[in-house]
Amino acid sequence: MKKITSIQFKRKRKSVTNYRNRLKLILSGKDRLVIRKTSKHIIVQLAKFDEKGDVIITSASSNNLKKYGWQSGLKNIPAAYLTGLLAGKQAIEKNVKEAVLDAGLSKPVSNGRIYTALKGVIDAGVKIPAATDIFPPEDRISGKHISEKIPGLFKSTKEKIMSAKND
């Protein structure tokens, strides 16, 4: 039997990984939708477990939205939704039908960016279990709370993402 060393749990000591939650997600047998917030971006990835390490099936960052004409902030609610929509569209193209949410150590807040990105992935067509009351209202997703210009920009960027071919 292999001896477990303290180096193997370095991520637990640094509060980077909650192994109990990770094990539950892996035992579900489904791909994981990993959503992370950084200080500048939103990152949405679909990951599959492998013994040698997770395999990233598809990845989208809010920084990718610039290719589709997005000219607003990259970490706000509309950007989170569009990033989720982009990742969901890529997942559908790679035949990912369902997944489970992996929010990591960040605490998902109802109407927050993590659930907004989740709604984008669901709207793209990936089946992910979630209650509908956790999502923000449509006017907030489209950016009406930020500026009068954002809803038009949001709509045009969403159309470009949905009509785009493989990236």
Domain harbouring 72, CATH code: 3.30.420.100
Is 82 in contact with 75 (CB distance < 8 Å)?
no
Chain segment 23-78, per-residue pLDDT in tens: 777 767 789 999 999 999 999 999 998 888 789 999 999 999 999 999 998 999 99
Q: Within a domain: residue 41? A: yes
Q: Within a domain: residue 5? A: no
Q: Within a domain: residue 1? A: no
Q: Within a domain: residue 3? A: no
Domain count, the chain: 1
Could you tell me the two tokens for 114? 């993590």
Chain segment 75-133, per-residue pLDDT in tens: 999 999 999 999 999 999 999 999 999 887 777 788 889 999 999 999 999 999 999 99
Q: Within a domain: residue 74? A: yes
